[in-house]
Amino acid sequence: MKIFHPGHLLSLILAIALSGCFSHKAEISISQNGVHEEEIAYFHYSRDAAWQPIQEQKDFGRYQVLKLTLPLSWKGGLKREVSELYYYRPNGDGPHPAIVVLPITQGDHYTEDFAIHLAMEGYAILRYESTKTFLDDPEQTLAGATQIIRHYIIDVRRGVDWLMAREEVDPNRLGILGISLGAITASVVMAADSRIKTGVLILGGGDLAGIIDRSKENSLMKFRQRVIAREAMDADQFRKAAAEVFRPIDPLTYANRLDPTRILMINGYFDRVIQRIFAKTFWEAAGRPKLIFLPTGHYSAAFLHTYLRSRTSLHFQKHLR
């Protein structure tokens, strides 16, 4: 495993411009880590839910964008009734490879840019809009947070149902891209849904209890502090309780279902939101897929957006073309 000294930061940034960030490649055979066809019962759902009509459609020349709304499978703890999605339909009859794009907790600029870039390359894109999460509810519990994430995963799978029904989409060439919370969600969706053949996980990781326990992100710290105060816990009790409650939605729980040769991980070496130990923990559990560490933190990874976009395009070109 390649590690660099922080004093080499400037040299590493220069190296990015010349080639790419340092990385780890898969070292475990598919016989130890691979796709499992059986469905995970915890993420079972009814496939007969009706979608609302397309709200609007815009033509951007090489692709069209349709705005969609998906009624939530579960509304507990959320002050909304639907998820907003955007479908980027490339020109031509297809069938086109398709990619589901999952956002960070708040903000859609970067995932929108990824979606446009990939649509210009001929992919059909289903992009989920960011929304408020369990972190925004001051009364939220560990159990409530688990249900919100569980049903987010289910609603992504429902989006895949819609995408697979499109005549212009090739159902055998589907990928997923997630950033931050989107990467955590995407890693579980891949494990739960064998229709997704490949994925790019940017700034994600595994061990949700550990991520929240050690994160320096203000919203995660406040959530942790509120739960500790409400339940009269100490820090060790919080970590143990969170590990138990989050287990059904933790990427680590399902990591051994993944095919490491079809995953790209990109993380920030100096990330203080999802610290690199949790990226490496998931990397090990998932069979050591290709892992690139950027010389950045969580938010500063945005300065290397062009590089991220390039590596993402190369990965999907390899696995979906």
Tokens of 191: 């494990």
If one compares 17 and 180, the residue with the highest pLDDT of the two is 180
pLDDT band at 139 (very low <50, low <70, confident <90, very high): confident
Report the pLDDT value the prediction gives residue 122, as an integer from 0 to 100: 97
Segment 98-114 mean pLDDT? 93
- Range scoring the smallest mean pLDDT among 14-23, 83-92, 198-207: 14-23
DSSP-assigned states of every residue in 17-50: HHS---EE---S-TTTS----SPPGGG---TTPP
Domain ranges in the chain are: 49-320
Q: Which residues contact 212 (CB under 8 A, 6 or more apart)?
A: 220, 223, 224, 242
Helix (H) or strand (E) holding 11: helix 9-18
Beta carbons within 10 angstroms of residue 59's beta carbon: 10
CATH 3.30.450.20 is right for the domain spanning 49-320: no
Residues 283-312: tens digit of each pLDDT: 999 999 999 999 999 999 999 999 999 999
Report the pLDDT value the prediction gives residue 244, as an integer from 0 to 100: 97
Residues 9-36: tens digit of each pLDDT: 444 443 444 344 556 544 333 334 544 5
Residues 237-282: tens digit of each pLDDT: 999 999 999 999 999 999 999 999 999 999 999 999 999 999 999 9
For the chain, give the number of residues.
321
Runs of H (alpha helix) within 132-180: 142-164
* pTM of the full structure: 0.88
Strand partners, 294: 268
Report the pLDDT value the prediction gives residue 81, as an integer from 0 to 100: 72
Q: With CA atoms as reference, report the closest residue to 187 among 106, 274, 283, 98.
A: 283
Instruction: Give the Cα separation of 136 and 77 in Å (integer).
Output: 10
pLDDT band at 135 (very low <50, low <70, confident <90, very high): confident
Instruction: Give the Cα separation of 312 and 179 in Å (integer).
Output: 12
Report the pLDDT value the prediction gives residue 106, as an integer from 0 to 100: 80
Strand partners, 203: none
Q: With CA atoms as reference, report the closest residue to 27 among 314, 265, 260, 204.
A: 260
- Range scoring the smallest mean pLDDT among 6-10, 38-42, 106-110, 306-310: 6-10
Which SS3 state, helix, strand or coil, does residue 23 take?
A: strand
CB 56 within 8 A of CB 66: yes
Tokens of 128: 């989920």
Report the pLDDT value the prediction gives residue 97, as an integer from 0 to 100: 98
Instruction: Give the Cα separation of 318 and 321 in Å (integer).
Output: 6
User: Percentage of the chain surpassing pLDDT 90?
Assistant: 70
